[in-house]
Amino acid sequence: MFPFPCPLEPPETARLRAEVRRQLLCAWPALAHSPICRLEPAALAEMLRLYDELFFDGLFARRLPQLCVVGTPRMTRCAGKFCARVLADGTTDVQIRMSTDFLFRLHEGPFSVNGIDACDALEAFQLVFEHELCHAAEWALYGACSAHRSTFRALSQGLFQHRTCTHALPTRAQEAAALGIGVGAHVSFPFEGRTLRGIVSRVGKTASVMVPSPVGAWHDKRGRRYVKYTVPLGLLTPQRRG
């Protein structure tokens, strides 16, 4: 079915995954630390090369040589994403985007990713990357992605022994909610020597807080007006109502 060995026996998957890890740590020893504080673009390129060589028998080098891996701090809701788009000139832009926002916040494991317990941040990152590689392999083979259907499952389960398609890595919103800061929460924060109070409308790396003001540019269904502030999460204090 595939131009590379699939399925693999679980011990072989574990051996190859460990070999990727070994070679990455030989070149970038700091990746062994949790949390990881820095991720070199060259490390991402090497991780792709190693997985392609060890698991896919060079599929990406042959059929999808334009595939690249980028680390981005802007993804705060998903840990990884495969993106493919056909450009106006007919060429295809394909990327695997990996969230450094997730990676740099992972402290002590284990972490549950794709139904597997990862011992540390690097292994969690590998498991997320493997999930995106399955999407990329579908694209390389068939020019489409099946959104976690039969072909994807054959790859994720057969190559990598993944048992689910989800992770339990904490999002920014979940971490904030544990502190009482979520959408709809009443909060206060310092601003230019004053303390302002408002309602949280969005949570990511920062929070959007709607502060009541008669001259605000934003309004709700009742016509009440607000000024929107973008506030670092660490400056917010939850407020009890009533």
* Position 197 pLDDT exceeds 90: yes
Domain ranges in the chain are 10-169, 174-238
Question: Taking the complete model, does pTM exceed 0.85, yes or no?
Answer: no
pLDDT of residue 173: 75
Residues 48-104 pLDDT 10s: 999 999 999 999 999 999 999 999 988 877 889 999 988 888 788 999 999 998 888
pLDDT of residue 242: 58
Residues 132-164 pLDDT 10s: 999 999 999 998 887 667 899 999 999 999 998
pLDDT of residue 168: 66
Could you write out the three-class secondary structure of 52-87?
Answer: HHHCCCCHHHHHCCCCEEEEECCCCCCCEEEEEEEC
CATH classification number, 174-238, choose in 1.10.3470, 3.30.450, 2.60.120, 2.30.30:
2.30.30
Percentage with pLDDT > 90 across the chain: 65
